[in-house]
Amino acid sequence: MQIEIATLFPEMCEAVLSTSIIGRARTKGALTVNCHQIRDYTTDKHNRVDDSPFGGGMGMVMQAQPVYDCWKAVLAQSELPTHTIYLSPKGKTLTQQRVRELAEMPRLFLLCGHYEGIDQRVLDKIVDEEISIGDYVVTGGELPALILTDAVARMCENVLPSPDAYTEESHFSGLLEYPQYTRPEVWEGEAVPPVLLSGHHKNIAAWRAEESQRITAERRPDLWAKWSNK
Ligand code: 4FM
């Protein structure tokens, strides 16, 4: 899997993606992520990438030219078929199902907007799919692109440290996870559920399955309805 991120804040993306599990996966070569500075592609002599909106109104709009030239240049760097995604609250909400499908694609181009928006004409020309990470608004597309990258990356082979983690919860059974406990056995007077100390693997698995179902029914009646009907 290869992911290209086009942004006005590549250092912000690079910092996050050099850390922890994704950072390690990139070092190992299990995953390729490249961050691109859209400003590097402006033809404006003052390096401008934004301007005030036609029709008036607050704030600034990212211009079509630097975004389009960045996209063309990055696409030309590889033969791989590339799926272009624009992160925006207007997009279809991301689900684990869509994450799994995106993880099967050879190459993604993630476009991050900032300010009040991007000129619609370049979006119409290059964007295959608009995706939202949820019904709330953040200041730019970078954090949403990082969330998408993280969610997709962990579905790719050799990214998660243990292949176990990869098969169980990462393939998302449709239920919420059971609670986890670690040492000490008693903390602030609260003991760990005794079954987890029993060494009885069948009982432990049964307890975890029950807890998953209980928590899902309690907190997410929507997920519970889907799961218990199939
Ligand atoms: C997006 C701000 C584009 C400015 C945003 C521009 C969001 C979301 C989001 C903010 N993206 N899911 N929710 N973006 O709030 O994906 Cl130009």
Ligand 1 atom nearest residue 117's Cα: 17
Query: Tell me, what's the pLDDT at 173?
Result: 86
Looking at the CA of residue 94, tell me the nearest atom of ligand 1. Answer: 12
pLDDT at 196: 98
Rounded to the nearest angstrom, the distance between the alpha carbon of 81 and the centre of ligand 1 is 25
Residues 67/132, Cβ–Cβ less than 8 Å: no
Q: What is the pLDDT of residue 222?
A: 97
Q: What pLDDT score does 161 carry?
A: 85
Q: How far is the CA of 141 from the centre of ligand 1 (A)?
A: 5
| CA 187 to centroid of ligand 1, rounded, Å | 41
pLDDT value at position 16?
Answer: 98
State CA 96 to chain mean position distance: 10
Supply φ then ψ for residue 132, to 5 degrees: -110, 145
Task: State if residue 66 touches ligand 1 by the CB under 6 angstroms criterion.
Answer: no
Q: In what order do the strands lie in the sheet with 2-7?
A: 32-37, 2-7, 107-111, 82-93, 129-132
Q: What's the pLDDT at 170?
A: 43
Residue nearest to atom 13 of ligand 1 (CA): 89
Low-confidence residues of the chain: pLDDT under 70: 163-171
